[in-house]
């Protein structure tokens, strides 16, 4: 996608840190998915070279035999992949929660999907707006960017919770600190 077409949030606007964190996470989503897929394939290949069988059949035979195996290099790499996979599952669960529970969830989902989450990156803002046509009537570039920012903020609230700086005064009013 043309970088000029995917504008960053306006730095002078009053956006919270969690907005920028969510934006950065979304921008890197496709790369993370790709890296994770490659890492899983690499572990499987290394395991097959090292042990002469697939991970699944090897683990099944070890399980049946009741053996506890600790293969250092492969185990550490596999645990790293597992942690990354768990983080992606949390992220996907947050996107699903946004889609199913937020009052504009379906619209926000498709905006995020075509902008950041779809397997193939679209060529620019015009193509994204065209794909969004069934979901957003009379969608202009301004409307797209406004709604995209709203979707990122809503997802950020789910991911990072309501502990962002902008919500601290509200939290303090409900739970004043004892001095």
Residue 5 lies in a domain: no
Residue 128 lies in a domain: yes
Residue 138 lies in a domain: yes
pTM over 0.75: no
Residue 155 lies in a domain: yes
Report the alpha-carbon distance of residue 33 to residue 29 in Å, rounded: 6
pLDDT by residue (tens digit) across 26-66? 998 888 888 888 877 787 787 778 777 776 676 666 566 66
Residue 119 lies in a domain: yes
Residue 86's domain spans which residues? 17-174
Tally of domains in the chain: 1
Residues whose CB is less than 8 angstroms from the CB of residue 19 and which lie 6 or more positions away in sequence, other chains included:
9, 149, 152, 153, 156
Check pLDDT > 70 for residue 113: yes
pLDDT by residue (tens digit) across 128-142? 999 999 888 778 999
């Amino acid at each position: 996608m043309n970088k000029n077409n995917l504008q960053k949030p306006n730095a002078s606007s009053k956006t919270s840190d969690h907005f920028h964190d969510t934006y950065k996470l979304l921008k890197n989503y496709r790369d993370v998915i790709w890296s994770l897929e490659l890492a899983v394939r690499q572990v499987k290949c290394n395991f097959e070279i090292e042990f002469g069988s697939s991970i699944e059949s090897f683990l099944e035979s070890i399980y049946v035999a009741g053996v506890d195996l600790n293969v250092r290099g492969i185990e550490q790499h596999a645990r790293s992949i597992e942690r990354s996979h768990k983080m992606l599952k949390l992220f996907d669960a947050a996107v699903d929660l946004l889609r199913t529970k937020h009052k504009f969830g379906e619209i926000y989902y498709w905006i995020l999907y075509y902008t950041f989450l779809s397997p193939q990156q679209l060529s620019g803002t015009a193509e994204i707006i065209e794909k969004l046509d069934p979901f957003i009537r009379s969608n202009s570039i301004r409307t797209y960017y406004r709604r995209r920012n709203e979707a990122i903020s809503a997802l950020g609230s789910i991911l990072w919770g309501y502990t962002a700086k902008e919500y601290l005064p509200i939290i303090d009013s409900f739970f004043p600190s004892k001095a």
